[in-house]
A = this chain, B = another copy of it.
């Protein structure tokens, strides 16, 4: 683990240990540097990371303050997959509806940039959050990049397997979101009525080297999912 990531984790632990709340002030930068025994660069990067994550905000001339949402039960939309809720990890279960290795379907090719005839793992599963149906997920993994998957892995967290067991470096993703009426074919999986509202999120995941390896379509159960995003201005 990189030093600035490690430092960020330690600062999070510090916040937790001291039970700091929204708006509470952290030690001054110089103090943090001495306290955690890192250089200014490293501390700055650690703080920047936490700022992007929404854990703190920094005010020049004033100090470094913790940032917390006061709402509970929201899913963090950008938790690099792996549905995390505010502070609390929740109980996520998966029921695998289908799992097969097939030639990449036409309509997926453009999203994954697959060469013709490439094989992909096609997985359909229902995901539960604390016992409630959260979403239906259909995902496609390029076998060229993910050489092996099995039903057991797919019942757990696929991404954790990719990162730890396969050592893949997940980089960035393009997400496309829209709202619409549920078609009957999907409604039945979510135990909802056709025509009910639904949020659909298509995501193309890339490795750090830019190669797309996973295309997924997630349809959320509108009653069992709400999202929080702690954003930082992009300016420019």
A: interface residue count bin: 35 or more
| Of A115-123, A149-157, A176-184, the one with at least 4 CB within 8 A of chain B | A176-184
A17 at the interface (CB under 8 A from B): no
CB distance from A73 to the nearest CB of B (A): 10
CB distance from A132 to the nearest CB of B (A): 15
Q: Are B173 and A231 in contact (CB under 8 A)?
A: yes
In angstroms, Cα B71 to Cα A73, docked, is 32
In angstroms, Cα B231 to Cα A234, docked, is 12
A52 at the interface (CB under 8 A from B): yes
| Of A27-35, A75-83, A99-107, A136-144, the one with at least 4 CB within 8 A of chain B | A75-83
Identical subunits present: 2
CB distance from A49 to the nearest CB of B (A): 7
A146 at the interface (CB under 8 A from B): no
Q: Are A176 and B74 in contact (CB under 8 A)?
A: yes
CB distance from A220 to the nearest CB of B (A): 7
Residues of B with C-beta under 8 A to A198: 179, 197
A-B contact pairs, 5 of them (CB 8 A): A57-B172, A171-B232, A171-B233, A173-B231, A175-B229
